[in-house]
Amino acid sequence: MYNPKMFREERLSVLHALIREHPLATLITHGEQGIQANLIPFVLVEGGERDQGILLAHLARANSQLNDLRAGAEALVIFQGPEAYITPSWYASKAEHGKVVPTWNYAMVQARGVPRVMDDPAWIRDQIDLLTTFQEQARPEPWAVADAPEPFVAAQLNAIVGVEIPISHIEGKWKVSQNRSDADQAGVRAGLTYEGGCPVMAGLIGGASESRTDSPA
């Protein structure tokens, strides 16, 4: 992807944190039917090539994207983090010279790897348990797969197939106003915080960067 150096995020711990916080990702493959894309919730576990992590998921058995996954071609998984429209009205430089334009801030991770389709019911059950446990852990009374009748669970498991993607390449892009002056960044933080924007994005905006001109997304 287009990823200027000032926006590039390479710390694996930061990339993994975004994946865990935003597990619903776009799975993109290319095969005989052309490009296919589906929103799929993933679980990230340790390991894989150069310890970059392994992505675990499941798809409906009727999903035609499984044909691409079984073919063994590389898959692309895109995790979208916080994002926000940035109005130039928040920039201090608007009052100084007016040479400002709107932009969009965002944080995202792209992960690539060769998928393995998993038909083992035990593997699929473990993946479902992992995904459910992670999503339910903050609730006062977490729901567990075992709470449902076992025959019902077995029928549901028969309708899905597991997918394991060892990450071979991972990169992040944090476009969070690094290309603006300190004063402009302060204005963006205030705007996102007090005008009903995205407080999470406001928290990502830090110090000044090398460039002082707007950069396209």
Tokens of 198: 């995205």
pLDDT tier at 209, thresholds 50, 70, 90: very low
pLDDT tier at 50, thresholds 50, 70, 90: confident
Residue 214 has pLDDT above 70, yes or no: no
pLDDT tens digits, 3-28: 999 999 999 999 999 999 999 999 99
Mean pLDDT of the 35-60 span: 95
Task: Give the span between the Cα atoms of 142 and 134, in whole angstroms.
Answer: 10
Q: Which residues face 118 on adjacent strands? A: 162
The pLDDT of residue 216 is: 55
Q: Classify burial at 32, counting beta carbons within 10 Å of its beta carbon; exposed 0-12, middle 13-18, buried 19 or more.
A: exposed
Task: Give the span between the Cα atoms of 182 and 179, in whole angstroms.
Answer: 10
pLDDT tens digits, 91-108: 999 888 888 899 999 999
pLDDT tens digits, 108-132: 999 999 999 999 999 999 999 999 9
The pLDDT of residue 166 is: 97
Which of 40, 56, 49, 38 is CA-nearest to residue 12? 49
Mean pLDDT of the 150-167 span: 96
pTM: 0.91
* Average pLDDT of the residues of the chain: 92
Q: Please report, rounded to a whole number, the percentage of residues in the chain having pLDDT higher than 70.
A: 95
